[in-house]
Amino acid sequence: MHVINDGAMQALGSYHGGRMLFLGLGTGLGSALVWEKTLLPLELGDLPYRRHEIIEEWLGQPGLDRLGQKDWMREVEYAITQLKRSFVADHVVLGGGNARFFDSLPKGFERGDNRNAFRGGVRLWEMDPRTHRKKWRVM
């Protein structure tokens, strides 16, 4: 049996190589790191951030409601750039319902799609026919 959250499922389905950081912009902040057949679900939403709040209060729906779309988008671009550097990610996939507000993204960032969660579910159960072991390691 495997149990992972929706952000990790979408991250796994969005992965196409290198070291990828997934950030799901929605009610809160979903997150996962994926590299070389390894999935590491994260809880970045609980990171301390501005004004002694947590980062999902700024990048999630509460931040969008408080800041308005234009200022929220600036805040997201700043924060995701810092997170990309911190995790030494080759690229970042932005998923979740609020990623739709971005018409364009900085270099090294791409938009995810909620439908990628289905691909993530399939990948989670893939088996290597040579060893009959799972191809993906979930940490």
Task: Kindly report, residue by residue over 48-101, the tens digit of the pLDDT.
Answer: 999 899 999 999 999 999 999 999 999 999 999 999 999 999 999 999 999 999
What are the residue boundaries of the structural domains of the chain, listed by start? 6-138
Cα-based angle 29, 35, 40 (whole degrees, multiple of 5): 45
Structure tokens at 77: 């671009």
CATH for 6-138, options being 3.40.50.300, 3.40.50.1220, 3.30.420.40, 3.10.620.30: 3.30.420.40
pTM of the entire structure? 0.89
Say if residues 61 and 53 touch (Cβ distance below 8 Å). no
pLDDT at 130: 65
